[in-house]
């Protein structure tokens, strides 16, 4: 792996760790990090009550850029991967699912965007 790719991977891991801690402080239980499904990877799976939250963590120069970087194709892939989660953990089958984004930007607090998009 080249050094640019390694640096990006390390930044992504740090951002996901920070996002997970922020969500814990907000009362969420982290069910999985970097969950690899047959349909793609989910950065974070969190739960609060009967709500299952699929979280995409994005780091960009600004929070707005981070939010805008979640493409429609990526939203579809995450929605498909979220549909797989109950087969992985049957106890989560009765949960409502929400899609959130945690946007990270240098020198800024993480921004948690709830209901970042609606899946069909």
Q: How many helices (H) and strands (E) does the chain have?
A: 3, 5
> For the chain, what are the domain ranges?
3-117
pLDDT tens sequence across 102-117: 999 888 889 999 998 8
Task: Answer for the pair 37, 54: CB distance below 8 angstroms, yes or no.
Answer: no
The token duo for 53 is 């939250």
Q: Measured between alpha carbons, how far is residue 44 from residues 33, 49, 58, 78 in Å?
A: 5, 16, 12, 11
Tell which CATH architecture fits domain 3-117: 3-Layer(aba) Sandwich (3.40)
Task: Please tell me the pTM assigned to this model.
Answer: 0.91
Which residue has 């989910």 as its token pair? 42
**Each residue's pLDDT tens digit, 60-80:** 988 888 888 999 999 999 999
What is the pLDDT at residue 116?
Answer: 87
């Amino acid at each position: 792996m080249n050094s640019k790719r390694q640096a990006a991977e390390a930044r992504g891991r740090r951002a996901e760790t920070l996002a997970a801690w922020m969500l814990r402080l907000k009362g969420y239980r982290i069910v999985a990090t970097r969950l690899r499904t047959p349909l793609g990877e989910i950065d974070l799976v969190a739960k609060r009550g009967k709500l299952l939250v699929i979280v995409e963590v994005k780091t960009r120069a600004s929070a707005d850029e981070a939010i805008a970087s979640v493409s429609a194709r990526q939203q579809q892939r995450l929605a498909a991967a979220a549909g797989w989660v109950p087969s992985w953990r049957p106890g989560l089958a009765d949960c409502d699912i929400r899609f959130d984004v945690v946007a990270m930007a240098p020198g800024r607090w993480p921004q948690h965007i709830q209901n970042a998009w609606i899946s069909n």
